Structure formats: structure tokens, C-alpha cells
Chain A
Amino acid sequence: MSNSINIIKAIFVKDLINELRSKQTFASMVVLSIIIAWIFRLTSSVIESAMVSIAAAVIMVSVVFSSILCCERSFAVEHGDGCMDGLLSASADRGNIYIGKLLFNVTMLCIFDCVMVPVVCVCFNLTPAGNLLKLIVILLLVNIGVSAVGTLLGSIVMSIKSRSSVLSILIMALIMPMMIPAISGLLMVFSAGADSGMFSAGQSFSEIAGMMAAYDAIFVTVCWLVFGFTVG
């Protein structure tokens, strides 16, 4: 058990130090999200009434695109110079490699959220202060779910030349069930529980969070189980 924790910690710290030195992935994630928020704000100036819905969409789009950058990069660095072979030959359990990478991706997305959400709130003139805890819960659950799927898919597409485009398609197809409750929850946070159009009425926050937590738990478990087959 302690050996597993040591391996997970070593992989997590290695990736974090790597990123702190280069800051390449994080910078791309932040700039991309600011550009997305900016474009959506410009185009939404004609439909002021739908501002809350658009802000929720901007947050989800930013998280998804940033997770694609993050998950792809976390395995791309291992692909060069035979680093992955080194990791595998170090007799580390495949599942531990997955958990280490997953923790790194979740941490990156959480740090990214701390920058991106205030930017979106400023752009769209939103004040989620009263529902801050609910917002944090939703974003954390989204980060775990997207990273769980993204980390596995990042290793699947490692040997493909056009991996960025394939990874985007695979991640977006798989995280749809997570997007629906996440957007519903974000609308609840930003519009203080007001009826939110296309979503059915009478949903509670615990129902939304429960659905997302179930998605996270099942996907983390399934991806952890099958990860070994993707790295050989």
C-alpha cells in the first residue's frame, strides 16, 4: 500500500515539477479559456437575456478544451525519449501510473478553474458569491470526471500521429453524460435556482451532484482497471 502511494506521489510530483519548469500547458490552457470567454462575450452582446446560460456554456467549453490540452500533454512528454518505457520498466503498477497522472490532471484543472472562473464572472457580470460552495463542488466533480476519461484516452492516442484531433473527438463523445448535469448545476448556481429553460424542473442540487459523483466513481474505476491494456 505504502509502495503504491510512493509511486503515485513520485509520478504526480515529477509531472508537477515538469510543468512548473516549463509552464507550457498551463499558459496554453489559460490563454485559450480567455479567448473563448472573450469570443462568447462579443457574440452574446446581442442576446443579453441569455447571459447566464452562455456563461455556463463558456465554463464547460473552457474546461473541456483545456482538459484536452492537459491530458494530451501529460502523455506526450512520456512518449518522447522513451520515458514511458522507463516508467513501465521501473516495475510500477499500471494502475498507479494512471492514478498519478489522473491526480496531476485534476490538480492542473483545479488551478486552471481558479483563474478561468473569475475571468468568466467578470466578462459576463456574474456574482456566484452566495453559491460559491456549490460552484466549487460542481467544478471539482467535472474536473475529476473529465480527467478520468481524458487520462485514459491520452494514453490510447499516444501512438497516433493526429492525436490532438482524435483525442478531442473521443473526449467530447464520452463526457456528454457529465456535461448535462454540470450545465444544469452551473445554471442553478448562477441563476440562484431559477427555472432553466430546456432542463426539467424540480431537480435538486444533491441529485445533480450525486449523478456527477456516480459518473466519476464508475469512470475512475473502469479506466483504472483497463489502463494496463493501453500501455502494453
Chain B
Amino acid sequence: MRVTVLITSFVLMIASGVIANTKGAIEPVVRNIVYIHVPASICSLVCFGGLFVFSIMYLIKKKPIFDYLGAASAEVAFVFATVLNITGMIFAKAEWGLWWTPSMRLITSAILWFLAAAYLILRSSFNEQGNKANLCAVFGIIAFVDVPFVYISARMMRDIHRPSFSFDSSWQSTALGLAILATIMLASTLIWMRADIEKLNEKLN
């Protein structure tokens, strides 16, 4: 099942790449980074949502699987937030001539990365199991509650970012849609696999 989802996501990614390279190319060429940047941003938010849901589920049901899924969601959120920030910085340098500046969406994506990193640091800091799962679940919940505030407060800053994307053809929208779908499938599989590894680690310990 996992292999099938993984292969399907790669096929969709290749299809998205082919369409983006042929009929869906955006001018100037640097703007084609949108096909990686936007899916990464949506995926990191979805993974944060996953962390929130699994944390609440763990606190209610106390089943270890929700703790493993929460931890896996945070790790995958961290990976996609890293991709989001790096692709954003590459685009910013090419488009605006600077790597980073205090601007609404740039701050929001940076804080997403900080929150995911803070969760992973907290998780790796416990010497013994004890109350670890409970404490990480509590942090997962308040980290997610923080996200809308990050976005609202960042609106107080001047925004250098493009307000929205306007595509010239439906091929471009199709390529982006496929890229988003493929990335979400990839993220789900990664969470699934990472949760299994976490479960095996617990068994070994």
C-alpha cells in the first residue's frame, strides 16, 4: 500500500514537472520555483494540522500510536518548512536582490520552521520516557494554536511578497495542482513510515 502511494506520488511529480517544463513554463524562469515552494508551504501547514489532531487524540485516548504519528508529523513539517524557506530565499534573492527581509509571509514561514524545530528539540531532550508523550502532545497543541497568530501579527509588517499567483494558462494551474497532490501523498507516506520506525524504536528500548 505504502509503496503504491509512494510510486503514485513520484509519477504525479514527474507529470507535474513535464507539464511545467513544456506547456506550463512561467516567465522569467526563476518563478518556476513556485511548483516546489507552494506545495511545500501547503504541506508544512497540513503536517502542523496533523500534529495538532494527533496530539489531542493522544491526550484523549492515551494510545502510543497517536504519539508516534504526532512526532512523525512534526518531523515531516520540519522538512517541508525547511524546503519552503530555502526555496523562498532562493526566489527572494533572484527577484528582490536579498535573501531575507522582515516581511509578512517570510516571517510566518520562518516561525513555522522555529516551531517545528522547537518541538523536535523538546522531544529529543527527555532522558527517560516518563511523561514525555504527554508533554510533547501539550507542546504540539500550543504550537498549532500559535500558527494563526503568527499569520495575523505578521500582517502588521510591510509585505514584499506577491499577494497571489496569477497563471496565464490552465496548464500552469494543472501542474501546480498535481505538484500539491503529489507532495501531500509523499508527506502522508513519510508520516506513516516514520511513525512505524518510532514504534519499532520504542519496542527496542
Q: Which residues of A contact B (CB under 8 A)?
A: 149, 152-153, 156-157, 159-162, 166, 169-170, 172-174, 176-178, 180-181, 184, 198-200, 203, 208, 211, 214-215, 218-219, 222-223, 226, 229-230, 232
Contact = CB atoms under 8 A, between A and B. Distances in A.
Contact of B156 (A170, A199, A219, A226): A199
A166 B124 CA distance: 10
Contact of A211 (B125, B143, B153): B153
A212 to B, nearest CB: 9
B89 interface: no
Does more than half of chain B's interface fall in helix, strand or loop, or is it mixed?
helix
Interface in B106-126: 107, 111, 114-115, 117-118, 121-122, 125-126
Contacts of B166: none
Contacts of B107: 176, 180
A207 to B, nearest CB: 8
11 contacts: A159-B130, A170-B122, A174-B115, A199-B157, A199-B158, A200-B159, A215-B153, A229-B135, A230-B134, A230-B135, A232-B134
* Residue from the set B115, B134, B143 with the largest chain A CB neighbour count within 10 Å: B134
B98 to A, nearest CB: 13
A215 B146 CA distance: 9
Interface residues of B, number: 38
A214 B152 CA distance: 11
B130 to A, nearest CB: 6
A177 B158 contact: no
Contacts of B121: 166, 169-170
A184 B156 CA distance: 8
A26 to B, nearest CB: 27
Interface in B76-117: 101-103, 107, 111, 114-115, 117
Interface string B131-152: 1001101110111011001101
B156 A200 contact: yes
Nearest to A171: B118
Contact of A177 (B122, B137, B153): B153
Given A173-B117, A174-B146, A178-B153, A156 B126 contact: no
B127 interface: yes
Contacts of A152: 138, 142
B154 interface: yes
B118 A170 contact: yes
B59 interface: yes
Contacts of B103: 198
Nearest to B160: A198
A159 B59 CA distance: 19
B90 to A, nearest CB: 22
B156 A181 contact: yes
Contacts of A184: 156
Given A180-B107, A208-B156, A222-B145, 13 more contacts: A156-B135, A159-B135, A160-B127, A161-B127, A166-B121, A169-B118, A170-B122, A173-B115, A178-B149, A180-B157, A198-B103, A199-B157, A223-B142
Which 8 pairs of residues, A with B, have the shortest CB-CB distance? A177-B149, A173-B118, A177-B153, A180-B153, A173-B114, A160-B125, A226-B138, A156-B135
Interface in B21-47: none
A20 B167 CA distance: 65
Given A229-B59, A230-B134, A156 B153 contact: no
Nearest to B143: A174
B158 to A, nearest CB: 5
A154 to B, nearest CB: 12
A174 B147 CA distance: 9
Nearest to B59: A229
Nearest to A156: B135
* Residue from the set B114, B121, B131, B138 with the largest chain A CB neighbour count within 10 Å: B138
Contact of B145 (A153, A161, A162, A219): A219
Given A169-B121, A198-B102, A222-B145, A176 B138 contact: no
